Amino acid sequence: MMSEETCSHDCSACGEVCPSRAQSPQSFLVEPNAQSKIGRVVGVVSGKGGVGKSLITALLAVELKRRGYQTGVLDADVTGPSIPKVFGVHQKAMGNELGILPVRTRTGIDIISVNLLLKDENEPVVWRGPIIANVVKQFWTDVVWKNVDFLFVDMPPGTGDVPLTVFQSVPLGGIVIVTSPQELVSMIVSKAVGMAKLMHIPILGIVENMSYLKCPHCGEEIPLFGESHTEQTARRYGLKLLGRCPLDPSVAAKCDAGDAEKIDAPWLSGAADAVERLGRD
């Protein structure tokens, strides 16, 4: 065993078994495609499904694109891919000797999703966890992300194989947690926060979706799910509440039509600001 006096504390260059090595966490980060040039990677996560995580991911990519940045979306929700649908993208991703090429949306956002690789986009993805995790990893290693300032990763809900793979394999600059107003939010957010802290991933803040419905006649904000508990939860964990997004039928209609890039979302400006600041650090 190497003595303390002669130890360089660089475990990557040492074959000795010692206490220092046991205390040093092993890095599982993998290199992106050699042709990729990526600025910051931002994960968009949720503790449970059905809270609009993919919508928030898409709209953040749209907003940062409007601010003059090149953006991309890696759809890691392999069994529930909705990113191509909200952008109205149905063509297949192509490849060459350098790797897989993402499909570009109408305004120039690069996206990759399993739906862009399947023969039939309506075909169910009935794969086991390790296979899904490897596919997501390939979206990082095999896809050519050229000159992308912000790459958003739309993660599946929960803390299973795929979120763990992304957290370990991809150099996330930060994550945005998406949740809903119900009291259940405390437990849901606590799981996402716990996993992020365990993996040493910075949390940019929380976005509350489905916060209220605005009356089309008088403009009153109606809390359909009752009193919000997100702000208290954010304070409990020392996090910022980055935005409160309404339930808006026109937003749903645009997403169904594949027109996410036509949505104006001023309620997400705080979240977009947090991402933009990340790019300056």
Higher-pLDDT residue of 133 and 280 is 133
Calculate the average pLDDT of the chain: 87
Instruction: Report the domain count for the chain.
Output: 1
For 216, what's the count of Cα atoms within 13 Å in the CB-facing half-sphere?
4
Residue 74 has pLDDT above 80, yes or no: yes
Q: Is 227 contained in some domain? A: no
CATH number for the domain spanning 52: value is 3.40.50.300
| Residues of the domain holding 113 | 29-179+200-205+254-280
Q: Is 168 contained in some domain? A: yes
Residue 93 has pLDDT above 90, yes or no: yes
pLDDT attached to residue 101: 97
Average pLDDT over residues 141-155: 97
**For 241-253, how does the pLDDT look when each residue is reduced to its tens digit (9 = 90+)?**
999 999 999 999 9
Q: Among 124, 129, 143, which residue's Cα sits nearest to residue 75?
A: 143
Q: Is 113 contained in some domain? A: yes
Least confident of 36-40, 107-111, 276-280: 276-280
**For 151-174, how does the pLDDT look when each residue is reduced to its tens digit (9 = 90+)?**
999 998 877 888 899 999 999 999
Q: Is 187 contained in some domain? A: no
Pairing status of strand 110-112 against strand 103-104: antiparallel
Q: How far apart are CA 10 and CA 231, in angstroms?
A: 43
Q: Is 194 contained in some domain? A: no
Q: Is 272 contained in some domain? A: yes
User: Predicted confidence band at 69 (pLDDT cuts at 50, 70, 90)?
Assistant: very high
**CB distance 177 to 237 below 8 Å:** no
Q: Is 231 contained in some domain? A: no
Alpha helices in the chain (DSSP H): 19-23, 53-66, 83-87, 129-141, 161-169, 185-198, 230-236, 249-256, 269-280
Q: Is 18 contained in some domain? A: no
**pTM greater than the 0.85 cutoff:** yes
